[in-house]
Amino acid sequence: MSSGTPGTVRIGTRGSALALAQTGTFASALEAKTGVTVELVTITTEGDRSKASLASLGGTGVFASALREALMVGECDAIVHSLKDLPTAPFPGLTIAAIPKRQDARDALCARDGLTLDTLPAGARVGTGSPRRVAQLLARRPDVEVVDIRGNVDTRLARIADGGDLDAVLLAAAGLGRLGRLDAVTEFLEIDGWPTAPGQGALAIEVRAGEEKLVKSLDHATTRIIVEAERRVLQLLEAGCSAPIGANALVEDGLLFLSARVYSADGSERLTSSHALYVADVQNPAVDVADRVARELLDAGAARLAPLGTSS
């Protein structure tokens, strides 16, 4: 560990309510598992300071950069990311030492008056800042108006309250659960028809290379295989935050299943590829199955549909 209180692990986190909630959950689990004392270090990122769209700021990786800088200079001993916000390219000197057990990977609709996607009226205003969700929403309901939004969960939910300017917002179910706000959900969108971001619902704990033992005890092997497969597809497609891509994997009875879907920005077209293999049959199942899925998508014309070659 770097300088700090002896025996204390300092965990860097963004200061949003969601980041603090998910980091606090991890910190409690680490204390319970290892007996160490944990201290939270709040770090402000450019993504937190700016109100501009994520795409214009350079993508969700804008949240990771300040945390990584703090870790590299010794301000903290580990950092907690929402895995879906973490760029797929490795960061020199750092390593993902733990990926705890994944929470709900689904998206959720939070709408006024208990409305669902199918019962929203024509012209309804639906808020999201995700190009993937925009494409999926327009594919399902081309008659609604999509509104680009930023801000924390409470700010977004306030916009559908009485007097708010939106009829609904799309959010990650895991984030709502960590904040105790599942009461706001009017519909959970099932993965089969609404694939979500690679790694959604999972956390990634980064440390300096060589210090993996600090948090390694909370690594969940099955979750790691699943999310590595999803993120490998994103990496092979060279897709960044502006590419509307969903990917979801699971392990069942020894089989690793992976499905990925690429949308056109307006949701009018999509391509899907799904493959499976036995985990025990290959040395690196996540890489192998992702290679098959990505190759099939590219051969089918994925680069024509989405802005690929823009990964960060």
Domains 8-100+202-219 and 107-189 belong to one CATH topology: yes
- Percent of the chain past pLDDT 70, that is, above it, reads 89
User: Is residue 134 within 8 Å of residue 244, measured between CB atoms?
Assistant: yes
List the single range of 160-164, 198-202, 226-230, 265-269 with lowest mean pLDDT: 160-164
Residue for token pair 């004392």? 37
Domain ranges of the chain: 8-100+202-219, 107-189, 230-305
Distance CA 175, CA 104 (A): 9
CA distance 85 to 114: 29
Domain 230-305: state its class. Answer: alpha beta
Class level of CATH domain 8-100+202-219: alpha beta
Give the pLDDT band of residue 3 (cuts 50, 70, 90). very low
Single out the catalytic residue among 48, 77, 85, 253.
Answer: 85
> pTM for this one?
0.89
Give me the mean pLDDT over the 278-298 stretch.
97
- Residue 50 is predicted with a pLDDT of 46
Flag whether pLDDT at 54 surpasses 50: no
Single-letter amino acid, residue 170: L
85 is a catalytic site residue = yes
CB 192 within 8 A of CB 241: no
Secondary structure in 3-state letters for the chain:
CCCCCCCEEEEEECCCHHHHHHHHHHHHHHHHHHCCEEEEEECCCHHHHCCCCHHHHCCCCHHHHHHHHHHHCCCCCEEEEEHHHCCCCCCCCEEEEECCCCCCCCEEEEEHHHCCCCCCCCCCEEECCCHHHHHHHHHHCCCCEEECCCCCHHHHHHCCCCCCCCCEEEEEHHHHHHCCCHHHCCEEECCCCCCCCCCCCCEEEEEECCCHHHCHHHCCHHHHHHHHHHHHHHHHCCECCCCCEEEEEEEECCEEEEEEEEECCCCCCEEEEEEEEEHHHCCCHHHHHHHHHHHHHHHCCHHHHCCECCCC
pLDDT at 5: 52
pLDDT tens digits, 98-153:
999 999 999 999 999 999 999 999 999 999 999 999 999 999 999 999 999 988 89
The 10s digit of each residue's pLDDT in 181-215 is 999 999 999 999 999 999 999 999 999 999 999 99
What pLDDT band is residue 304 in, cutting at 50, 70 and 90? Answer: confident
CATH code of the domain occupying 107-189: 3.40.190.10
Question: For the chain, what's the residue count?
Answer: 312
Could you give the percent of the chain with pLDDT greater than 90? 80
* Mean pLDDT in residue range 250-279: 96
pLDDT, the chain, mean: 90
